[in-house]
Amino acid sequence: MNAVIQFWSNLPVIVQTIVKGLAVIGVIFPIGGACSLVERKVSAWMQGRPGPSRAIPFWFAWVPVIGPFLQRLGVFHLMADGGKMFFKEDPVPGHVNKFYFTIAPLVAMIPALTTVTAVPFGAYLNDAQPQQLVPVVLANLDIGILAVFAVSSLGVYALILAGWASNSKYPFLGGVRASAQLISYELSMTLSVLPVFLWVNAPGGSGSLSLFNVVQAQSGTWHGFTTDSLGGVWYLFMMPVSAVVFLVSLFAETNRLPFDMAEGEADLVGGFHTEYGALKWGLFFVAEYAHMLVGSGVFVLLFLGGWNPLPWLPLSTLAGWLHVTQLPLVLGVLSIAIFLGKTLFFIFVFMWVRWTVPRFRYDQVMKLGWQKLLPLAIGNLIVYAAGIAIHDLQLGWLAWLALVAASFAAAWFALILPEKKATL
């Protein structure tokens, strides 16, 4: 293991960068295609039908048991779809702006592939310091969450560019909807994670926006019914409002139902990608699944303990139980498996919601973002900022009681406050 690390460290930086880039592309593209297949199987399961189950190569059809089993799973449809995307005729309508029409799918892929580099997806114990965890990440940035938000927000330009370059009214309306929706929900998403980093960064410290540090802050053990046990609580249970706001905003940011206003078939034919076909069309959806994957991974890191298997059961403790503390490769694979398991569960949740909740109207989407989610995120930030101050200053139970009373009073007032009806 040390020889492999030493060999990697001695490689030129440009070679390391190229290898990392190819690794990202080699992972994201197959996962995007697999998610497309899984979504069709999940939708079929929910609607009581078999889904993709016909395709099989002629040279594999004779294999007993395994061949029919894989055929029923539909795994060969992934090969068929990939081949079709690459070799299908690529139509370019004569009325489009060809240059921007062509680069829009590539612009969609760049943020999707770039944000993956700043998301840690596993960890292993350092050989020199056996109790120190080292993240498995392509770029271990101290401003991890800021980098993810900054780069992922650039994805909206691809939708706007595709809609505008199509020179058609339905794609243009889809691009306009996408820009308004993503800007609206980015505010709530950003505000929802601030309580997490307020809690992680102790007063007087250097401060960090590292996603790895957030997971470390959720890696404590049980110390009885004391405040020391808070270090092992996943933030889903400690900050449920932040988790809900982040998850709802994530649905809107990835243009998934019930927030797929940019591609609503009922009123926009196909939205921003109406004029696209073949590989260009497929790139948009690979980018969408990549954003879903990264967003789900960030949610797991922020609110579900990352690669820690259970609350109060950190990865280092599990490594001791399994006697793999001195096997960094085995521990790294184990941590990646735990992280991917949680992430893929949320990919399933995305698909589950798509076939369960009906699509919102556009005015409902804007109302939810600006009048409901944003005030809730602001109020949540104020409550947790006050709670963290009470905890750090040790103001006592009277201050906690006052904060709880004020929070319930504000929530009650917001619920009973009548909405002003629009008048013509």
290-327 pLDDT per residue, tens: 889 999 999 999 999 889 999 988 888 888 888 888 88
> DSSP state, 368?
I
Residue 271 backbone dihedrals phi, psi, to 5 degrees: 75, -145
Asked if the structure places residue 54 within a domain, the reply is: no
Asked if the structure places residue 284 within a domain, the reply is: yes
Q: Does the pTM exceed 0.95? A: no
pLDDT value at residue 171: 86
Q: What is the CA radius of gyration of the chain?
A: 24
Report how far residue 235's alpha carbon sits from residue 223's, in angstroms, rounded to the nearest whole number.
18
The percent of the chain in helix, strand and coil, each rounded to the nearest 5, is 70, 0, 30
State how far the alpha carbon of 342 is from the alpha carbons of 303, 305, 413, in Å: 11, 10, 37
Range of the domain at 255: 91-416
> DSSP state, 361?
P
Measure the CA angle with vertex 287, ends 282 and 290; round to 5°: 130
Asked if the structure places residue 331 within a domain, the reply is: yes
SS3 304: coil
Measure the N-to-C terminal CA separation of the chain; round to a whole number of Å. 72
Asked if the structure places residue 207 within a domain, the reply is: yes
Asked if the structure places residue 314 within a domain, the reply is: yes
Nearest to residue 234, comparing CAs of 135, 82, 349, 342?
Answer: 342
Beta carbons within 10 angstroms of residue 243's beta carbon: 21
pLDDT value at residue 298: 93
Q: Are 31 and 293 in contact (CB under 8 A)?
A: yes
Asked if the structure places residue 80 within a domain, the reply is: no
Residue 1 has pLDDT above 50, yes or no: yes
Helix ranges (DSSP H) in 219-277: 235-238, 240-253, 265-268
Q: Which of 147-156, 241-250, 299-308 has the lowest mean pLDDT?
A: 147-156
Total domain count, the chain: 1
Higher pLDDT, 34 or 2: 34
The pLDDT tens digits for 365-422 are 888 888 888 988 998 898 888 888 887 788 888 888 988 888 888 777 766 665 555 4
State how far the alpha carbon of 239 is from the alpha carbons of 21, 236, 249, 315, 374, in Å: 35, 5, 16, 22, 16
Asked if the structure places residue 142 within a domain, the reply is: yes
pLDDT band for 424, please (50, 70, 90 cuts): very low
Q: Are 152 and 291 in contact (CB under 8 A)?
A: yes
Asked if the structure places residue 77 within a domain, the reply is: no
SS3 72: helix
pLDDT value at residue 194: 92
**Distance, CA of 45 to chain centre:** 24
pLDDT value at residue 196: 92
Residue 202 has pLDDT above 80, yes or no: no
Nearest to residue 108, comparing CAs of 256, 347, 352, 288?
Answer: 288
- Tracing tokens 């927000």 back to the chain, one arrives at 153
pLDDT value at residue 235: 92
Q: Are 38 and 74 in contact (CB under 8 A)?
A: no
